């Protein structure tokens, strides 16, 4: 029989239990917050018709996995979740408006693999479809705020408006075709600083390696107009709104976007969400062309996690879903970078990698009485304790406890012949002793090693373990 080569595909990865358990904890917290806001879960297929997945845009088409089915149908793996959401809204017209959903699924992109960049990754989206109210956008920001706060992270959610940015192009005397290249450079402000941004808007600059980054060739007057605009980013929300109105007093088209920023500010203020956590930052552009109004981006500000970059981002995309429904369909939403968020939480010590979900290991000292051990494990599970019954090959208690230690299971239940005869149970708190340092080969040695151990009547096990695990 030919041996199968055990090697994962390039750009993909296995997520082992330690990381998976940590990830599920993060997702659980965020789901709980989103459901407090009335968002419901949605699931869509991994494969869609090619025309659906390619609706993500020209750049996306280069990275989409496409193939032909046996019947000749052209299909593709989903590149992102918004296209599938759009298809759902067009196909299920009975869904209510507004429709509020969250969705957690893997997506696939044929991208160049790099450290931290994979061809398959999880997207966690939250969207409201069918509402043009700025309160829908403000709720997305508020839900992002509450989720990050509940995870115990230090953060800032900056928001702006593409309509205001479009008015900047008019204010600076630029043609509409300059909007995209200007916005792309403005998005670099947080990382590169104002000096580098001004150079890229003008003649260009050299990066740290000495390579030339070409500039857009804007004149000094145009660059000065843009700099005046960017200086507003340092104001409070209310001050930013006032400053924008003064700056754009001769640009009538700016008022709609400024008013939308103000509406979001007033909602956030009513929720006691402070300026320092959710400032207006007019440099936020979000690179995707389909944003039509408010845009927002969450960055972490902790001492260690600040270098992670953006962990959440999104905005209003009123023109996208209509391509599927045939009618104008307002929508707003955001996506979370779960892997970045998890990396940041590990950096800040807010998350631990634990290889097992179990809190209790029921050891088996007498294999011939395995069904009685199983009854004990079952009783613990019915009481709500995450319990593993040892079913491995190790016969000695020492090896079983080493297994528990390796799996970071904090409590072991031990019942030998003496305990069975006396209707007792021994409980071992493995947090108080590192068993790999104790050479326990038999019952006699075990009796000497009583650190963290207590023997109790069998009918008291539930109450005792409950108190013990509360001390975690």
**CB of 441 closer than 8 Å to CB of 398:** yes
Q: Is 449 a residue whose pLDDT tops 70?
A: no
Q: Which of 128, 86, 93, 101 minimizes the C-alpha distance to 43?
A: 101
Q: Is 59 a residue whose pLDDT tops 80?
A: no
Listed in sequence order, the residues at least 6 apart from 472 whose beta carbon sits closer than 8 Å to its beta carbon are: 410, 431
Q: Is 294 a residue whose pLDDT tops 60?
A: yes
Q: Is 435 a residue whose pLDDT tops 60?
A: no
Say whether 448 sits in a helix, a strand or coil: helix
Cβ atoms within 10 Å, residue 332: 30
Q: Report pLDDT digits (tens) over 260-269.
A: 999 999 999 9
How far is 414 from 426, CA to CA, in rounded Å?
5
How far is 312 from 429, CA to CA, in rounded Å?
40
Q: Report pLDDT digits (tens) over 95-151.
A: 999 999 999 999 999 988 777 778 999 999 999 999 999 999 999 999 999 999 999
Say whether 183 sits in a helix, a strand or coil: helix
- State the DSSP code for 118: -
Say whether 279 sits in a helix, a strand or coil: coil
Q: Which of 127, 138, 146 minimizes the C-alpha distance to 332?
A: 127
pLDDT for residue 9:
93
pLDDT for residue 208:
84
The CATH homologous superfamily for domain 17-347 is: Bira Bifunctional Protein; Domain 2 (3.30.930.10)
pLDDT for residue 101:
98
Percent of the chain whose predicted confidence (pLDDT) is above 70: 94
pLDDT for residue 41:
98
Average pLDDT of every residue of the chain: 91
How far is 179 from 123, CA to CA, in rounded Å?
28
> For 47-76, what is the mean pLDDT?
88
Q: Report pLDDT digits (tens) over 232-262.
A: 866 799 999 999 999 999 999 999 999 999 9
**pLDDT tier at 152, thresholds 50, 70, 90:** very high
- State the DSSP code for 98: S
Cβ atoms within 10 Å, residue 340: 17
Percent of the chain whose predicted confidence (pLDDT) is above 90: 77
Q: Is 436 a residue whose pLDDT tops 50?
A: no
Report which secondary-structure segment, H or E, holds 266: helix 254-270
Q: Is 286 a residue whose pLDDT tops 50?
A: yes
pLDDT for residue 308:
86
Give alpha helix (H) positions in 291-412.
322-325, 338-347, 370-382, 397-406
The model's pTM is: 0.88
> Tokens 């995209």 sit at which residue?
180
> For 65-90, what is the mean pLDDT?
94
Structure tokens at 147: 């989720």
pLDDT for residue 451:
55
Class for the domain spanning 360-470:
alpha beta
Q: Is 170 a residue whose pLDDT tops 50?
A: yes
> For 303-329, what is the mean pLDDT?
90
How far is 27 from 41, CA to CA, in rounded Å?
12
> For 33-54, what is the mean pLDDT?
96
Q: Does the CA dihedral 93-97-98-101 come out positive or negative? A: negative
61 vs 406: which has the higher pLDDT: 406
How far is 457 from 419, CA to CA, in rounded Å?
9
Query: What are the two backbone dihedrals, phi and then psi, of residue 323, each rounded to the nearest 5 degrees?
Result: -65, -25
Q: Report pLDDT digits (tens) over 321-374.
A: 988 888 889 999 999 989 889 999 999 999 989 999 999 999 999 999 999 999
CA atoms within 13 A on the CB side of 407: 20
Residue environment code for 30-49, b if the CB has 16+ CB neighbours within 10 A, otherwise e: bbebbeebebeebebeebbe
pLDDT for residue 292:
94
Class of residue 66 by CB neighbours under 10 A (exposed 0-12, middle 13-18, buried 19+): middle
User: Where do the domains of the chain lie?
Assistant: 17-347, 360-470
pLDDT for residue 448:
52
- State the DSSP code for 296: E
Q: Which of 44, 43, 48, 45 minimizes the C-alpha distance to 69?
A: 48
């Amino acid at each position: 029989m030919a041996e199968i080569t055990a090697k994962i595909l390039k750009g993909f990865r296995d997520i082992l239990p330690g990381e998976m358990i940590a990830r599920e904890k993060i997702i659980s917290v965020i789901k709980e917050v989103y459901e407090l806001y009335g968002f419901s879960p949605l699931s869509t297929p991994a494969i869609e018709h090619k025309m659906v997945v390619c609706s993500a845009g020209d750049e996306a088409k280069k990275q989409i996995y496409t193939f032909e089915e046996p019947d000749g149908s052209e299909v593709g793996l989903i590149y992102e979740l918004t296209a599938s959401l759009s298809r759902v809204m067009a196909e299920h017209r009975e869904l209510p408006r507004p429709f509020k959903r969250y969705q957690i699924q893997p997506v696939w992109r044929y991208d160049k693999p790099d450290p931290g960049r994979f061809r398959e990754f999880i997207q966690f989206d939250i969207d409201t479809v069918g509402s043009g109210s700025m309160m829908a956008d403000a709720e997305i920001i508020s839900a992002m705020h509450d989720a990050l706060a509940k995870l115990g992270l230090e953060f800032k959610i900056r928001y702006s408006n593409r309509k205001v940015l479009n008015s900047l192009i008019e204010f600076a005397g630029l043609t509409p075709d300059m909007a995209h290249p200007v916005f792309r450079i403005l998005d670099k402000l947080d990382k590169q600083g104002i000096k580098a941004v001004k150079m890229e808007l003008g003649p260009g600059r050299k990066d740290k390696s000495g390579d030339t980054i070409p500039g857009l060739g804007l004149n000094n007057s145009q660059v000065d107009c843009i700099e005046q605009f960017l200086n507003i980013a340092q104001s409070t929300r209310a001050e930013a709104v006032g400053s924008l109105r003064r700056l754009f007093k001769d640009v009538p088209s700016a008022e709609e976007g400024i008013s939308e920023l103000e509406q979001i500010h007033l909602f956030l203020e009513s929720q006691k969400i402070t300026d320092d956590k959710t400032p207006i930052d007019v440099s936020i552009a979000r690179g995707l062309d389909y944003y039509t109004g408010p845009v927002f981006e969450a960055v972490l500000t902790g001492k260690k996690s600040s270098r992670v970059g953006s962990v959440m981002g999104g905005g209003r995309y009123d023109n996208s879903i209509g391509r599927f429904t045939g009618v104008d369909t307002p929508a707003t939403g955001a996506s979370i970078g779960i892997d970045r968020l998890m990396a940041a939480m590990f950096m800040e010590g807010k998350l631990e990698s634990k290889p097992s979900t179990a809190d209790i290991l029921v050891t088996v000292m007498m294999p011939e009485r395995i069904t009685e051990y199983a009854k004990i494990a079952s009783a613990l599970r019915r009481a709500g304790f995450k319990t593993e019954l040892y079913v491995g090959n190790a016969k000695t208690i020492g090896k079983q406890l080493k297994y528990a230690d390796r799996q970071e299971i904090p409590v072991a239940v031990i019942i030998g012949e003496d305990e069975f005869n006396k209707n007792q149970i021994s409980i071992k708190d493995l947090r108080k002793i590192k068993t790999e340092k104790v050479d326990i080969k038999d019952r006699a040695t075990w009796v000497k090693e009583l650190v963290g151990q207590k023997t109790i009547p069998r009918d008291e096990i539930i109450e005792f373990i409950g108190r013990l695990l509360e001390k975690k």
